[in-house]
Structure 1
Amino acid sequence: MSTATLPALEGGAPLIGHLAQFFRDPVAVLKRGYATKGSLFSFKLAGRRMNVMLGPENNKFFFEETDKLLSIRESMPFFLKMFSPDFYSFAEMEEYLRQRAIIMPRFKAASMKQYVGIMAEECLSLVERLGDEGSFDMIPTLGPVVMDIAAHSFMGREFHQKLGHEFFDLFRDFSAGMEFVLPLWLPTSKQIRSQRAKKKLHAILQGWIDKRRAAPLDPPDFFQDLIGTRYPDGTAVPDETIRHLILLLVWAGHETTAGQVSWALADLLQNPGYQQVVREELAAGIGDGDGSNLNWEQTLALTKMDLALRETERLHPVAYILSRKASTEIVREGYRIAKGDFVLLAPSVTHRMTENFHHPDAYDPERFNPDNPDARIESNSLVGFGGGMHRCAGVNFARLEMKVLLAVLLQHYDMELLDEVRPIAGAGTYWPAQPCRVRYRKRAAVRAGRPADVPALVASI
């Protein structure tokens, strides 16, 4: 068996390795590793070896070996502290599959149709708050809308109206518990806030579970269905699991979607040619409508918007790394990965490899168009939402709400960027750095109050 470890990245400091560099700019460390060592390399974070695998074949290996040679449970200890050791991806396989079976039907097409109206309603509430003209900072403005959509969709209108903003504030504190580098036993202010918020959120959710059991909603919404769901063997789903599932859906959705939709808007504003392509698609699909009558079929038909979102996912994956831990010794392409070592994928680097994408630094949504003869779409080449069994369960929900939010903003406003768009510094969620402001002005057709006859338009298509 090979004894050679993956080629090591130079430039680490004694004891801490590349920790300081990683804290400042993790993607720069990963890019330097690829540039100097190739698609397989390693670096040290405070004594822990990080083994990086890049490219579609390594992505495929990573996803196929999760729960086998690679452990997701041991790779993200912060998840256990934020949730529970026997919850979802971190439970034993049988329990994980039982819990996954509860969630997946709620993201099928039949269920997704009901969310479009909720998404449009929340986006139009944003438009009402913004008014005719002004400026807004992307993350502080779009992040709460993403949370509003989640609270309204998953918990119901009454919950959202009564507790929406309190829920958002608590949730930001709860999300601060996501810590990949520092030891979780350190009593940092982030960890203290996260645990306090967790207790409050569980108390709030349990109160709403009890309320809905006492007075069920008819017809049932997402939350009512979840409360009444049973496992395939007929046993009741514990309330703790229901609470964790709601927190997981909102947490995962907010961390990824808030950043991804902000990057998508920035990309469109920086590429007016493709922005015009998207606007023309909107004009053909919903005319001068304000978005209030947006429906599932119309949203599904926004294929150019789909391409734009995939290109943004490629260029700016919010999940810039995915991690696992080696459950046993692994040999990969003649190199040895020791049991207990971390194994990382880096969508932030893989998505810009010339082997996978022509002109990888260019913004070109049409590279994902299956009708484009020059398109080259390789399996496992786009992994911003993960892959394999543990691919993000809510990816279709996320893409749907991003389409609705962008459609409503583009229908209502002409917009331009006021600040340079750059990633946030540090090893946190890879969002656009603040401030990232957008100046907006109500478009003439909407200002004149000439909404299209949407039902007639749909009938004519």
Structure 2
Amino acid sequence: MELISPAVIIILGCVALLLFLQRKNLRGPPCIRGWLPWIGAGFEFGKAPLEFIEKARIKYGPVFTVFVMGTRMTFVTEEEGINVFLKSKEINFELAVQKPIYRTASIPKNTFLTLHEKLYIMMKGKIGTFNLYQLTGQLTEELHEQLENLGTHGTMELNNLVRHLLYPVTMNILFKKGLFPTDERKIREFYQHFQAYDEGFEYGCQMPECLLRNWSKSKKWLLALFEKTIPDMKTYRSAKDNSMTLIQAMLDIVETERKEEMSPNYGLLLLWASLSNAVPVAFWTLGFVLSHPTVHETILEGISSVFGTAGRDKMEVSEDDLKKLPLIKWCILEAIRLRAPGIITRKVMKPVKILNYTIPSGDLLMLSPFWLHRNPEYFPEPELFKPERWKKANLEKHAFLDWFMAFGSGKYQCPGRWFALLQIQICIILILYKYDCSLLDPLPKQADRRDCKCSVP
């Protein structure tokens, strides 16, 4: 019997050790797979995503993977993972959002990748900080017009009040004056379909359309609306300055790239992006302000000092006026911090190392602003509504507080963030100037924003 030499044993041992260490170094994070093939943890995750994320973080640590609808989503919740998310060159934004955009707006991958950066640059210029305050007068005028339809007193669900104001204002400015319907039946029909589309958007991002019959019906209704109205949008010109609307600038780029058949789809995408977040942010801001008497009183005093006490007048709002009322913007940002529900995502192109884990290529790297904004290391007393914390942010230079991620991060932050903040500021000023408001119900929890009534005597 031939014996193996000690040298061979040492070499084999070294190889085995190397393979063991390599396998250890390539160890992925804990994975929550659920018990159904392909669907994985989809049902449990879909019921309450924020609670699911927090329970998983407590059980598995700061990095964990969730298998949902055939996709691996790896969540990062602490600083090292967040730094990789923000700075790594091995992760990609466009490829992470391409499939959800295809499912929710039927925009094919090649079309999206061809047009995305061009459209982003255009929007960043059109409604970015440089041109933003040119829209102040138009926003004020449109909001006054909608407020006149409310009357002088009464009660209303706060969410419906905000929708009543911001839906028509946003559509009339970004798309075309008069696009939002005025007939009561057509208004209800629009609300019904947009609400169904908006509330089912997260499921629509992940699941085949054939499994979401009602959501698909509303999506097709909205696409048909744009197919019918886009010819009028192209020829529309403002009676005041003959300027192009945002949708016209968007359609110019789409048609330049010979993608005219995608015009309704991009119209739908812009509609959802402009309406889906502004309304809940305005709702929560007003709710927090009205439920904090000291903040409410301070804002009212500021509004009176700038505009006087004639609460029924059709006053104008200027850029200088807004600078004199910083507390309102602080309240908006604090409401966003406390109620930002979304998840920011990137696609891992090459394996990345986070803590002792290796995240494989193909994973979606996920960051939850909701839980990041509740880290007491970054935001002391995180559960409290403290708008004064925003005094430290350099908002004059368009910089938020560190670790505030509600608008995304890096190259592709939300291009409409400054327009959204501006219209919500003006909306709140005009409501509180015109009406003596009070809440009739307690402020609801995060999951429900539709049961809070507001009195406007």
Q: Shorter chain as normaliser: what TM range?
A: 0.7 to 0.9
Count matched residues. Answer: 422
Amino acid of the structure 2 residue aligned with 1:307? W
Q: Which residue of 2 aligns with 1:279?
A: 300
Q: Which residue of 2 aligns with 1:20?
A: 43
Whether the aligned pair in 1 keeps the contact of 2:285 and 2:331 (CA below 8 Å) is yes
Secondary structure of residue in 2 paired with 1:383: coil
What are the equivalent positions in structure 2 for 1:414-425 lying under 5 Å apart? 414-423=436-445, 425=447
From 94, 111, 116, the counterpart of 1:96: 116
1:349 CA displacement: 0.4
Secondary structure of residue in 1 paired with 2:202: coil
Secondary structure of residue in 1 paired with 2:73: strand
Q: Which residue of 1 aligns with 2:331?
A: 308
Verify: 1:70 aligned to 2:86, yes or no. Answer: no
Verify: 1:256 aligned to 2:273, yes or no. Answer: no
Q: 1:371 to 1:96 in 2, by over 3 A?
A: closer
Whether the aligned pair in 2 keeps the contact of 1:17 and 1:47 (CA below 8 Å) is yes
Whether the aligned pair in 2 keeps the contact of 1:75 and 1:342 (CA below 8 Å) is no
Verify: 1:435 aligned to 2:451, yes or no. Answer: yes
1:383 CA displacement: 0.8
Alpha-carbon distance in 2 for matches of 1:283, 1:21: 49
Verify: 1:207 aligned to 2:223, yes or no. Answer: no
Q: Which residue of 2 aligns with 1:297?
A: 320
More helix per residue: 2
Amino acid of the structure 1 residue aligned with 2:340? P
1:168 CA displacement: 5.5
Alpha-carbon distance in 1 for matches of 2:94, 2:282: 27
Alpha-carbon distance in 2 for matches of 1:79, 1:204: 22
Q: Provide structure 2 residue ranges, at least 5 long, that are not aligned to the other structure.
A: 1-21
Q: Which residue of 2 aligns with 1:450?
A: none
From 64, 76, 86, the counterpart of 1:53: 76
Q: Which residue of 2 aligns with 1:407?
A: 429
Amino acid of the structure 2 residue aligned with 1:306? K
Verify: 1:196 aligned to 2:220, yes or no. Answer: yes
Q: 1:324 to 1:229 in 2, by over 3 A?
A: closer
Secondary structure of residue in 1 paired with 2:455: strand
1:406 CA displacement: 0.8
Alpha-carbon distance in 2 for matches of 1:380, 1:172: 33
Alpha-carbon distance in 2 for matches of 1:291, 1:30: 47
Q: Which residue of 2 aligns with 1:452?
A: none
Alpha-carbon distance in 1 for matches of 2:238, 2:150: 36
Q: Which residue of 2 aligns with 1:219?
A: 241
Verify: 1:127 aligned to 2:151, yes or no. Answer: no
1:421 CA displacement: 2.9
1:305 CA displacement: 0.9
Structure whose alpha-carbon radius of gyration is higher: 2
Map Cα deviations across residues 385-421 of structure 1 (whole Å, 9 max, x no partner). Answer: 1111221100000000110111111112232223333
1:255 CA displacement: 0.9
1:361 CA displacement: 0.7
Q: Which residue of 1 aligns with 2:379?
A: 357
TM-score (norm 2): 0.80
From 134, 137, 155, the counterpart of 2:175: 155
Secondary structure of residue in 2 paired with 1:49: strand
Verify: 1:396 aligned to 2:418, yes or no. Answer: yes
1:345 CA displacement: 0.6
> Once superposed, what is the RMSD of the aligned Cα atoms?
3.4
Aligned-residue sequence identity (percent) comes to 19
Whether the aligned pair in 2 keeps the contact of 1:291 and 1:411 (CA below 8 Å) is no
From 407, 421, 427, the counterpart of 1:385: 407
Alpha-carbon distance in 2 for matches of 1:87, 1:168: 32
Secondary structure of residue in 2 paired with 1:159: coil
1:9 CA displacement: 6.1
Verify: 1:34 aligned to 2:73, yes or no. Answer: no
Verify: 1:3 aligned to 2:26, yes or no. Answer: yes
Amino acid of the structure 2 residue aligned with 1:354? P
Q: Provide structure 1 residue ranges, at least 5 long, that are not aligned to the other structure.
A: 426-431, 442-461
Alpha-carbon distance in 2 for matches of 1:384, 1:14: 32
